Structure 1
């Protein structure tokens, strides 16, 4: 029997979840019937044989790459980058070009939890009525510092999807993030 994350019905529902998460930055979305690693479920939904994927922290197994039908590339060339959120940033992703800003990478960060972390952040921007606060657990603070640098020449930049067993939380490049003391 084919695992649920590889089935079209799951992927369609998961894609709607991703769209909802990007339209409401900072809100946690739960993937449907997901008993698996949310990051792998997201990749099963978002990538195909034409996509480029980087796995700099070697989180994917060979079987996952075969099922995803992708060839791994370096982070500088990848449309999607899978990372362990607890590790520091050690690469430069593709930021797109002025003619094609949509070619900026989407980073999928695996965290311990989407809530309950010691550091709290305030989000503002499109899709957020006033402000939203998040406290991701298992996220090295270098990610948001680098994200600010990467997104400083808007519309160039990266989008982020934070994942844990709870679900997903989207941070489009238009979302401003400020650490709360």
Structure 2
């Protein structure tokens, strides 16, 4: 059973704005997210869909810690039926999600439909998250992890659906155990975890069907 975290009252004066054009911006971001999962390792870019508060640290508007891609992805994916777990406290992001999407925040990672990890070094073991059941594999978590870079880390080779032969990615900042723990989940397919790696306004998808080889 999902256990919602305590929801303090939202002060509109300190609320981070959502999409400027909710319908079209949600569709645009969702297409980018879908393309990223269907073409693992391809780097996608989120367009200018959020006000200056999220893209410009000089803005006087409230600003979440989450990068633009992470914030936009959560706004596009979440609704009242998708509990969210934030690995690092972010009052601005939490208030924005509750207000703009209706998504409840939960205290435990296993209760989340979506989980956001702002600091990749603090990523809990993947076994802490919902993996789905064989009859309902869709009831697993989608993990959004902010990394230092999508291109400047140790190379990782990807194979599987959506990749013609192989694709190499080089995310920086993920704990090494992430790849080992992910490989340990492979025998559980169709259960597992779909993941987005985000950095700034860019992101890359890593679905559960993708096989990973460390270079």
Per the TM superposition, whether the score is higher than 0.5 is yes
1:56 pairs with 2:87: yes
Partner residue of 2:25? 10
Partner residue of 2:138? 102
- Find the aligned partners of 2:211 and 2:195 in 1 and give their Cα distance: 12
The answer to whether the 8 A contact 1:113-1:166 is kept is no
1:135 pairs with 2:170: yes
Partner residue of 1:23? 38
Of 55, 71, 74, the residue aligned with 2:104 is 71
With over 3 angstroms needed to count, the CA separation of the structure-2 counterparts of 1:166 and 1:135, relative to structure 1, is farther
Deviations 1:43-100 (A, max 9, x none): 0000011111111232453422433322212211211111122324246100100100
Aligned-CA RMSD value = 2.0
- Find the aligned partners of 1:137 and 1:75 in 2 and give their Cα distance: 23
Number of aligned residue pairs: give it: 179
Structure 1 or 2, whichever has the larger Rg, is 2
Range moving further from structure 2, 97-106 or 87-96: 87-96
With over 3 angstroms needed to count, the CA separation of the structure-2 counterparts of 1:57 and 1:103, relative to structure 1, is same
Deviations 1:1-22 (A, max 9, x none): 9543672211110001011111
Question: Unaligned regions of 5+ residues in structure 1, if any?
Answer: none
Partner residue of 1:42? 73
- Find the aligned partners of 2:37 and 2:194 in 1 and give their Cα distance: 9
Query: Following TM superposition, by how much is the alpha carbon of 1:139 offset from its aligned partner in structure 2, in angstroms?
Result: 1.5
1:80 pairs with 2:80: no
Residue 122 of structure 2 aligns to a residue in which SS?
Answer: coil
Of 116, 122, 142, the residue aligned with 2:152 is 116
Query: Following TM superposition, by how much is the alpha carbon of 1:165 offset from its aligned partner in structure 2, in angstroms?
Result: 1.1
Residue 103 of structure 1 aligns to a residue in which SS?
Answer: strand
- Find the aligned partners of 1:143 and 1:7 in 2 and give their Cα distance: 34
